[in-house]
Copies of this chain bind each other. A is one copy, B any other.
């Protein structure tokens, strides 16, 4: 078994550490140490820490967003073929489900999803802007699809609710672990991924469909 090249090892280590600690709290020394590379390797291969984050995000997010975009298009096509308006829950599912399903994808990466969650709600403008630039077209696509699904609601309200959806989703992704802190039931198991995903989809679908 040959070791992946330095660039890949750096991406893997950064993905893992960023997902655990966030961008600002992860040092290049920790990344290069985990990747068994020299400290200077990040700057040599990527130019800077910020460019490394961009590469980490792009490696996973471009195919993930493509997948989500395709699923949204499928929902729209099916609705057109059936002569109905698209189903809100199906659109929500297209946006959220692939995100969580990515944990079990071919890359075997469970880390990217946490980075996405963190980026989505990051206070750091560097992180947030990088992420927003990558997801902006998908959000617009989803927004337009939701406007078709919810013709009785004003466009701007739908956008605001989509914004709430991203908040609930990011929070869910990042901190599902701390939910237990509050639970009085001490022997409660951590929620299964699928259960949590379905709970989230039910919650935001109802929120999006709420009367004006």
Contact = CB atoms under 8 A, between A and B. Distances in A.
A53 B145 CA distance: 43
A168 to B, nearest CB: 4
Size category of the A interface is 35 or more
Q: Oligomeric state, in number of copies?
A: 2
B24 A182 contact: no
A170 interface: yes
Interface stretch (A7-15, A58-66, A97-105, A158-166): A158-166
B121 A191 contact: no
A116 to B, nearest CB: 13
Contacts of A182: 136, 139-140, 143, 159
A193 interface: no
Contacts of A132: 178, 181
Interface of A: 21-22, 24-25, 118, 121, 123-124, 128, 132, 136, 139-140, 143, 155-157, 159-161, 163-172, 174-176, 178-179, 181-185, 188, 191, 196, 199-200, 202-210
